[in-house]
A = this chain, B = another copy of it.
Amino acid sequence: MSHSIVSADALLSFCVACFKKLGLNSEDAQITAENLVFANLRGVDSHGVIRLKVYADRLEAGGFRVRSNRRIISEGDAFALMDADHGVGQVAGLEAMRLAIGKAEKAGVGFVAVKNSNHFGAAAFYALRAVERGMIGLAATNAGASMAPTGGRVGRLGNNPVSIAIPSGKYPPVVLDMATGAVAWGKIFVAQQENKKIPTTWALDKHGNPTDDPNAAAQGGLIQPFGGYKGYGLSFLIDILTGVLSGGGFSTHVKSLYQNLDSASHVAQSFAAINIAGFMPLADFQSRVDQIIDLMHQCPAAPGTERIYVPGEIEHEMEQRRRIEGIPINATLKDELSTLGAKLGVPFPL
């Protein structure tokens, strides 16, 4: 499939303008747009502007509240609980991450749970905010039920992701950002848009059979957990640490981004920060992280391996390249965004 190339700046401006037309204030529009373009820049196209259309649909239908009244329900020296009032997940997420960082500045650790939130895009976006402040950051979310527990055949858990970001010295930050499914759900949408088959370990169809057809997976199918029962266990624990602990939705109470556009999705998230200064000077820590990265890079390679990576390295290099070369947008997505832009009165930059 042919791709067009759009600069990150142009794509960001387009998204910001769309979100403003949809009623978000300038700051909220900027945060949400930055999160989407961040994902595209890092090569995580499944969480990038491919989501803009459904965000627009939910903002118009009411599933995302344009004007929400976020509030802190309870807090202490090292924790807080936020009610996001069904606003945009990115806006609540960034505020919660900043709150966790602020707690960690004083207490050493901060943990913030958020209920009544929404899809928050790429989790690394939040975890990396802690890195900017010399901290370790963590962000996790639950999601609409798309995976069965091990031995089951009906969705009971989301493809719940967690991101942990670590400050480094001479190397880019270490950024783990992984879903607990064998694959990010959005990658199946990308395969749909690009008319490609998927590996049979990614998903089940609606009958519970493995499938290589992204359409069969998307039409009532399920993601398989990664690594068998351990992936199930991690997804289950993330749901407890987000949805159950926050007082928000969990398991089947969380609704998919793509269904019931006018209704709350009951997504919940958690954010944590650990202030490295409590343990050692930041420069010492950064040097130690560089050392462990070196130990991975210098590991003798298995036959067929040219280079060994640490988490976040591939995405960082992609970001460097795409900041210069621009972001590829496939023809289906280009049509979708152009149509959306035309409807909102925002010309798509192609």
Q: With A152-B301, A251-B295 in contact, do A279 and B74 touch (Cβ < 8 Å)?
A: yes
Are B245 and A279 within 8 A (Cβ)? yes
Cβ-defined contact, B79 with A301, below 8 A: no
**Given known A-B contacts A108-B77, A166-B237, A156 and B295 have beta carbons under 8 A apart:** yes
Q: Which residues of B contact A75 (CB under 8 A)?
A: 108, 278
Interchain Cβ contacts under 8 Å between A and B, 8 examples: A74-B279, A109-B111, A111-B274, A149-B296, A149-B309, A178-B234, A236-B311, A251-B292
Q: When chains A and B are docked, how far (Å) is the Cα of A284 from the Cα of B103?
A: 26
> CB distance A236 to B107 under 8 Å?
no
**What's the tally of chain A residues with a CB closer than 8 Å to chain B?**
78
Contact B246 A279 (CB under 8 A): yes
Nearest residue, chain B, Cβ from A275:
B79
A113 at the interface (CB under 8 A from B): yes
Complex Cα gap A75–B247 (Å)? 31
The winner among A78, A136, A278 for most chain B CB atoms within 10 A is A78
Are B244 and A178 in contact, with the CB atoms below 8 A?
no
Interface class of chain A by DSSP = mixed
Q: Quick check: A152 and B278 within 8 Å, CB to CB?
A: no
In the complex, which residues of chain B have a beta carbon less than 8 angstroms from the beta carbon of A104? 78
What 3 A-B pairs have minimum CB-CB distances, sorted nearest first?
Answer: A227-B227, A79-B108, A152-B299
A78 and B288 contact, CB distance less than 8 A: no
Whether a CB of chain B sits under 8 angstroms from the CB of A252 is: yes
Determine how close the nearest CB of chain B comes to the CB of A73; give it in whole angstroms.
8
Interface mask (A98-133 → B, CB under 8 Å = 1, otherwise 0)? 000001101111110100000000000000000000
Query: Are the C-beta atoms of B280 and A247 separated by less than 8 Å?
Result: yes
Does A185 lie at the interface of the complex (its beta carbon under 8 Å from any beta carbon of B)?
Answer: no
Bound CA span A311–B113, Å:
22
Within 8 A of B (CB), among A260-310: 272, 274-276, 278-280, 284-285, 288-289, 291-292, 295-296, 299-303, 305, 307-310
A230 touches B226 (CB 8 A): yes
List chain B residues, Cβ under 8 A from A288. Answer: 244, 247, 250
A79 touches B109 (CB 8 A): yes
User: A237: which of B76, B107, B148, B311 is its contact (CB, 8 Å)?
Assistant: B311
The smallest C-beta distance from A25 to any residue of chain B, in angstroms, reads 29
Q: How far is the CA of A111 from the CA of B107 in the complex (A)?
A: 10
- What is the minimal beta-carbon distance from A136 to any residue of chain B, in angstroms? 7
